[in-house]
Amino acid sequence: MISVEAARERIVGRMRPTGAESVGLSQAWSRVLAEDVVARLTQPPADMSAMDGYAVGPCAGAVGDTLRLVGAVAAGHPFEGTVGPGEAVRIFTGAVLPPGAVSILLQEDATATPDQVRIGEALVPGRHIRRAGQDFQHGARLLAAGRRLGAREIGLAAAANHAWLSVHRRPVVAILASGDEIFMPGDAIPPGGIVSSNSHALAAMVRAAGGHPVMLPIVRDDAGAIADAVAGAGRFDLLVTSGGASVGDHDLVRPGMERGGFELDFWRIAMRPGKPLMFGRLADTPVLGLPGNPVSALVCAILFLLPAIGRLCGLAGEAPATLPALLAAALPANDHRADFLRCSLATDAEGVVTARAFTSQDSAQLRLLAEADGLILRAPHAPAAGSGDVVRVLRLADLGV
């Protein structure tokens, strides 16, 4: 059995970021840049007025002085001419500063007639002027490859005159659930049959992480059928299986995949829930075999699938972020397996988070997992912890899970 950290490193280390595709700016939100975004223009393109008022030429600029009004300039309509000493031009926010102008007189500080404007507040040269290139210069690297695109990045790329961005292709992640007892929701369910929940939850997690899920049809407990189902694995960036990864007579996922050339890297991880995790490679496609129990499958997916997809998307593939929390109740010492305890979280007015482990940690109780706010991380051989002790927790809603 290997540790959670070693398993994640090995899994993420085998992922190769997908190639690039061009997407329109309006489809780029949450995608990851495959190339730097370099400014295609200078912003602002010229010195511009930051306010409505008057652009003033060289002058003493004292209160009571009067300037000659020689024109007007609005955003998008540059002034034809220059502003000389003792002259002023009516100007509006976002308009290019006319040549010769050195100060802005705010309109609330001005008294204007059709020909003249009187200064009501002493001028400060350069004030209320946005200088050319103050935001960025043509050729500046604004966003680096590997960056996930939020709304700000998309606005910045637009301002830099990019209508298209080169981003990593969404990794295609196939999900295979197997078992004679499982059926799709809405299908006729025979006695003793249950509805497959893992493939639906995993598909949602693939979406949350930025991938494109392909849900393969449920395959029965038959090694030949499993071999057939994964025959097209080479087309996927990652294949995820759920269930059948243990060593029982009815755990046929591994034997089935081995008929197609599956090579095991490792299986069994020192963690709870989730021991029988399997990782390997089939037709050059990485294969992550998750446990069949719903809670085990989802906890393993949080720890291993989310970073793996992140890496495929071009991110670093780091472990999901944790935060510190105070224990609401004592926990016993841990054995050799890392524990991920379903818990409720409460945040007080000062932002201090308290975590309370659920009484039941049964790995088949999906409802309890859905009611959990987080997972308390307990390291292998962690000593007993008392109420008020600090632990690390993983907040589930932050992950789209």
What residues numbered 232-251 form the site for its own copies, per CB under 8 A? 246, 248-250
**Which residue number, 328 or 366, has a Cβ lying nearer to its own copies?**
366
Residue with tokens 């966003």: 143
134 scored as a contact of its own copies (CB under 8 A): yes
- Least distance in angstroms from the C-beta of 237 to its own copies: 18
- Least distance in angstroms from the C-beta of 259 to its own copies: 21
Chain positions 196 to 215 lying near its own copies, rule: CB under 8 A, are 196-198, 200-205, 207-208, 213, 215
User: Using the 8-state DSSP alphabet, how is residue 301 labeled?
Assistant: I
Chain positions 260 to 289 lying near its own copies, rule: CB under 8 A, are none
# of chain residues touching its own copies (CB under 8 A): 102
**Which residue number, 60 or 390, has a Cβ lying nearer to its own copies?**
390
- Least distance in angstroms from the C-beta of 79 to its own copies: 9
Chain positions 160 to 189 lying near its own copies, rule: CB under 8 A, are 160-164, 179-182, 184-186, 189
- Distance between CA atoms of 6 and 305, rounded to whole angstroms? 14
Question: Is the bond into 17 cis (omega within 30 degrees of 0)?
Answer: no
350 scored as a contact of its own copies (CB under 8 A): yes
Q: What is the dihedral of CA 307, 309, 311, 317, to 10 degrees?
A: -10
23 scored as a contact of its own copies (CB under 8 A): no
361 scored as a contact of its own copies (CB under 8 A): no
Do the strands 338-347 and 353-357 form a parallel or antiparallel pair, or are they unpaired?
A: antiparallel
* Contacting range for its own copies; rule: CB under 8 A; set: 10-18, 40-48, 54-62, 115-123: 40-48
* Contacting range for its own copies; rule: CB under 8 A; set: 11-19, 307-315, 329-337, 368-376: 368-376
Q: State which of residues 195, 225, 231, 384 lies at the interface with its own copies (CB under 8 A).
A: 195
List phi, psi (to 5°) of 62. -85, 155
Question: Is the bond into 114 cis (omega within 30 degrees of 0)?
Answer: no
114 scored as a contact of its own copies (CB under 8 A): no
Chain positions 94 to 113 lying near its own copies, rule: CB under 8 A, are 94-96, 107
349 phi-psi bin (left φ>0, alpha ψ -120 to 50, beta other): alpha
Q: State which of residues 7, 110, 129, 156 lies at the interface with its own copies (CB under 8 A).
A: 156
340 scored as a contact of its own copies (CB under 8 A): no
Chain positions 309 to 338 lying near its own copies, rule: CB under 8 A, are 323-324
Tokens matching residue 235: 């087309």
The closest alpha carbon to 399, from 172, 212, 205, belongs to 205
Q: What CA–CA distances, in Å, run from 45 to 48, 95, 140, 161, 267?
A: 8, 11, 14, 12, 58
Q: State which of residues 56, 149, 253, 338 lies at the interface with its own copies (CB under 8 A).
A: 149
List phi, psi (to 5°) of 309. -65, -40
Concatenating the DSSP letter of every residue in 22-81 gives EEEGGG-TT-BBSS-EE-SS-BSSS-EESSSEEEE-SS---TT-EEEEEEEEBTTB--SS
